[in-house]
Amino acid sequence: MVRTPSPVQVRCADGDPVEFHRRPNRRDSHYLVEEVRERWIEESRWPFLSAMPVGGDRCRCWRVLARRSDEPHLPAGEFVLRMRSGPGVWDLRWSDA
């Protein structure tokens, strides 16, 4: 089963995500980040030939431990948040690790 990214709205503090919610906003979609476990940059190439030596898309990524805000007694889950090169363009994946 392939999981496709969900669009999300993310609030950051000091450069790291502190909360996020999936869009469209659903009752069970608001999460508070408890811990940032890993940060990295992903780079992908343009899907077409280009004479330019530099191209593609850069995504800043975070692997986070987050808990649903409406049910804090449930265990936290691990998620990967990716911010594409445009401001405010985020996606979310359940972590496979």
What's the pLDDT tens digit per position in 18-29?
A: 999 876 666 667
Backbone angles phi, psi at 29, to 5 degrees: -110, 5
Whether residue 26 is contained in a domain is answered as yes
Whether residue 12 is contained in a domain is answered as yes
Q: In whole angstroms, what is the distance from residue 78 CA to residue 66 CA?
A: 6
> Would you say the C-alpha torsion 84, 10, 95, 62 has a positive or negative sign?
positive
Q: Which range marks the domain in which residue 72 is found? A: 6-43+56-94
Location of structure tokens 């990524």: 61
Whether residue 48 is contained in a domain is answered as no
Tell me how many domains the chain contains: 1
Dump pLDDT digits (tens) for 37-59: 999 988 766 555 555 455 566 78
Whether residue 50 is contained in a domain is answered as no
